[in-house]
Amino acid sequence: MRGVHTAYYLVHLMSDSKDFEKDDKQAAAHFAAAARDAGVRRIVYLGGLGDDDDPNLSPHLRSRHEVGTILRSSGVETVEFRAGMVIGAGSLSYQLVKSLTDRLPVMLCPRWLTTATQPVAVDDVLSYLLAAREMPPGGSRTFEIGSPDVTTYADLIREYARQKGLRRWLIFVPVLTPYLSGLWLALVTPAKFEVGRHLIEGLKNSTVVREKTARDAFPVRPMGVKDAIRKAIADTTG
């Protein structure tokens, strides 16, 4: 990283590690130390939404926040973006929604699919990441980003189905553990069992934007959920 002004940290080891929390911390610490020693001026990091004060915050989201803390503690100015589900190609969460809806006319759904979430289009995430490079110096900052729409994962499935012209039925059941849900996902989607289980654990936590500072700090005006899904479908089929 010698000679680098801004370093982007987009690493998440959930899909490649049996102890992703430990490995995420170690990887972030190594990166932060290398950036500091090389004289990097700014780190830009993409993490996850979720309330730090929630005692039931999932391991997946808690790890995202811990990585941000480690990067900031290096002394290098860190701009952290916290996002919920990213809608678009390359997003595992979007791929799960897409695969489930494409393949299953009837879905048995855990109650967590009714949890509030505020997703964001992948193009808007990229716009934020690029805009962070041009920010004036000002110390480490955290920004929560999302579309203008607060929705649920169930409604995301319904909207995707509507735009694809699919008829889908969602049946909510009172007991469907993350373990069983992860096994189910492994059968019907490309996701690995462990990744699916960790993602489902995160569905119980509300992931909505509570701090509106990103709107004042950046010129980005995120598109709504319907437009984000429409663009994601066009990008993956066109």
pTM above 0.85, yes or no: yes
Give the per-residue SS3 of 172-198: EECCCCHHHHHHHHHHHCCCCHHHHHH
Tell me what pLDDT residue 193 has: 45
Tell me what pLDDT residue 107 has: 81
CATH fold label, 6-237? Rossmann fold (3.40.50)
**Residue of 118, 86, 80, 92 whose CA lies nearest to 15:** 92
Tell me what pLDDT residue 196 has: 56
Segments making up each domain of the chain, as ranges: 6-237
Burial of 216 (0-12, 13-18, 19+ CB in 10 A): exposed
One pLDDT digit (tens) per residue for the chain, 238 residues: 999 999 999 988 765 556 778 999 999 999 999 999 999 999 999 999 988 888 888 888 899 999 999 999 999 999 999 999 999 988 888 888 888 888 888 887 777 788 899 999 999 999 999 999 999 998 999 999 999 999 998 999 999 999 999 999 988 877 655 555 555 565 555 555 455 555 666 667 788 999 999 999 999 999 999 999 999 999 876 5
Rounded-to-integer distance, Cα 121 and Cα 87, Å: 5
CB-CB contact of 220 with 39 (8 Å): no
CB-CB contact of 114 with 50 (8 Å): no
**Residue of 155, 165, 153, 149 whose CA lies nearest to 237:** 165
Element (H, E) at 209: none
Tell me what pLDDT residue 19 has: 78
What type of residue is 107?
M
Tell me what pLDDT residue 204 has: 72
